[in-house]
């Protein structure tokens, strides 16, 4: 079933068409990767889906509702969560407290029932820490964690809201091999009903995680298919030629 559909989406910066007439469908529970050379428009598309920038044209529908003009907070309340290229965590809080803080705005119940909400937030944080396999990080200050651990904490912060759509911007960027293995394991454990859209340069991660890959080139969709189809697509290879990168 379709969760997200993007029609003719465009974004300009002055005269530059960073994104130009993009059409995209993401099903419930999909694992959808966005790839492309530097400057292809991947992060722009992710920002547009999260609502952190406005579209110059086109529409975004999420669960049948037109969300094109909704701000990020309203999209978050509808179940759209995201991570950033540089992990956005509170350095002076423990990993556990980061997740607890992130869970709090998403809890049901009257805002004045503070004790009950705090307990719920801690339960959610605990559950997520367990699922992501980061119990060793939980009592430590986020500022003292490795880049890869901070990345997992940030993904945990997105997941405690129990989203239906998770947007990940280059989750593997700058990770060591060990952290990469932890990230892959965490992504494999994500709930099957959760849809994930990820921007990623790391080919192994895309092949392992994605069921659909969309290739962006100069703001437009160049190709879409399974990771195997994309790897065999001569147009895609051509687009990457001269960049020193293979898809």
**Binding segment for ligand ATP among 13-21, 56-64, 108-116, 230-238 (CB under 6 A)?**
13-21
Pick from 121, 19, 125, 7: nearest CA to 62: 7
Could you say whether residue 244 binds ligand ATP (CB under 6 A)? no
Footprint of ligand ATP on residues 42-101 (CB under 6 A)?
42-44
C-beta of 13: minimal distance to ligand ATP in Å? 3
Decide whether 119 or 237 has the Cβ nearer to ligand ATP: 237
Q: Reduced to 3 states, what is the DSSP secondary structure of residue 215?
A: strand
* Residue 118 near residue 97, CB atoms below 8 Å: no
Span of 37-45, 61-69, 74-82, 143-151 interacting with ligand ATP by CB under 6 A: 37-45
Q: Cα(14)–Cα(98) distance, rounded to whole angstroms?
A: 38
Strand spans (E) along the chain: 2-13, 16-27, 31-35, 57-62, 65-66, 80-82, 165-169, 195-199, 212-217, 220-225
- What Rg, from alpha-carbon coordinates, does the chain have? 18
Asked whether position 220 contacts ligand ATP by CB under 6 A, the answer is: no
Site for ligand ATP in 98-117 (CB under 6 A): none
Q: How many residues bind ligand ATP (CB under 6 A)?
A: 11
Cα–Cα distance measured from residue 96 to residue 156, given in angstroms and rounded to the nearest whole number: 10
Confirm or reject binding of residue 163 to ligand ATP (CB under 6 A).
no
Told to check if 13 binds ligand ATP by CB under 6 A, we report yes
Segment near ligand ATP (CB under 6 A); pick from 34-42, 56-64, 150-158, 173-181: 34-42
Interface with ligand ATP by CB under 6 A: which residues?
Answer: 13, 16, 18, 36, 38-44
């Amino acid at each position: 079933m379709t969760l997200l559909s993007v029609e003719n989406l465009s974004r300009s910066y002055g005269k530059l068409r960073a994104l130009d007439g993009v059409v995209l469908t993401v099903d419930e529970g999909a694992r959808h990767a966005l790839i492309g050379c530097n400057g292809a428009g991947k992060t722009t598309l992710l920002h547009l889906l999260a609502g952190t920038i406005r579209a110059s044209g086109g529409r975004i529908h999420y669960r049948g509702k037109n969300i094109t003009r909704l701000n990020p907070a309203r999209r978050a309340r509808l179940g759209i969560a995201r991570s950033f290229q540089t992990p956005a965590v509170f350095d002076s809080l423990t990993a556990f407290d980061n997740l607890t803080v992130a869970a709090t705005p998403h809890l049901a119940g009257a805002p004045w029932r503070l004790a009950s909400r705090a307990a719920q937030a801690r339960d959610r944080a605990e559950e997520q820490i367990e699922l992501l396999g980061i119990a060793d990080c939980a009592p430590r200050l986020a500022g003292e964690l490795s880049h890869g651990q901070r990345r997992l904490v940030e993904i945990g912060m997105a997941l405690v809201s129990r989203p239906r759509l998770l947007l990940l911007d280059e989750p593997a960027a700058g990770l060591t091999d060990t952290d990469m293995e932890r990230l892959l394991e965490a992504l494999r454990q994500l709930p099957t009903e959760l849809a994930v859209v990820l921007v990623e340069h790391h080919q192994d991660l895309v092949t392992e995680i994605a069921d659909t890959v969309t290739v962006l080139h100069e703001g437009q969709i160049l190709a879409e298919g399974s990771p195997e189809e994309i790897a065999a697509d001569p147009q895609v290879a051509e687009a990457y030629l001269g960049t020193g990168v293979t898809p």
